[in-house]
Amino acid sequence: MSQQQQTVLISSHTQIGEGYYVVGVASPWLAQASQPGQFVMCRLPNANLLWGRAFSVYDVVGDEVFLLYKVMGRGTSLLSEKKVGEQLEIIGPLGNTFSKPKPDQFLLLVGGGVGLPPLYFYAKTYQEQASQMRVMIGARDKENVILEEEFKALGCQVEVSTDDGSAGLKGLVTELLKKAIRNNSKIKDKLLIASCGPNPMLKAVSAIGIEEKIPTEISMEESMACGLGVCIGCVVKTHCSPEQKEELKRDETYTRLCCEGPVLEGSRVIWE
Ligand X SMILES: Cc1cc2nc3c(=O)[nH]c(=O)nc-3n(C[C@H](O)[C@H](O)[C@H](O)COP(=O)(O)OP(=O)(O)OC[C@H]3O[C@@H](n4cnc5c(N)ncnc54)[C@H](O)[C@@H]3O)c2cc1C
Q: Indicate which of ligand X, ligand FES, none lies near residue 210 (CB less than 5 to 8 Å, by partner kind).
A: none
Please give the Cα distance from 228 to 234 (Å, whole number). 10
- Per-residue binding string, ligand X, 233-262, x by CB under 6 A, is -----------------------------x
Q: Which helix (H) or strand (E) holds 228?
A: none
Q: What is the 3-state secondary structure (H, E, C) of 142-162?
A: HHHCCCHHHHHHHCCEEEEEE
The answer to whether the CB of 78 falls within 8 A of the CB of 23 is no
- Candidate residues 61, 72, 187, 210; the one interacting with ligand X per rule CB under 6 A: 72
- Candidate residues 35, 70, 154, 178; the one interacting with ligand X per rule CB under 6 A: 70
- Candidate residues 146, 218, 258, 264; the one interacting with ligand FES per rule CB under 6 A: 258
CB of 189 to ligand X, least distance (A): 30
CB of 52 to ligand FES, least distance (A): 10
Contacts of 188 (CB under 8 A, 6+ apart): 181, 212, 213, 214
Task: Find the part of the chain contacting ligand FES (CB under 6 A) among 1-9, 138-146, 190-198, 222-230.
Answer: 222-230
The answer to whether the CB of 197 falls within 8 A of the CB of 138 is yes
CB of 90 to ligand X, least distance (A): 13
Q: Indicate which of ligand X, ligand FES, none lies near residue 226 (CB less than 5 to 8 Å, by partner kind).
A: ligand FES
96 SS3 class? coil
Closest CA relative to residue 264, chosen from 98, 130, 128: 98
Radius of gyration (C-alpha) of the chain in whole angstroms: 18
Residue 225 is a binding residue for ligand FES (CB under 6 A): yes
Please give the Cα distance from 44 to 32 (Å, whole number). 23
Residue 42 is a binding residue for ligand FES (CB under 6 A): no
Residues near ligand X (CB under 6 A): 39, 53-56, 68-70, 72-76, 114, 117, 221-224, 262
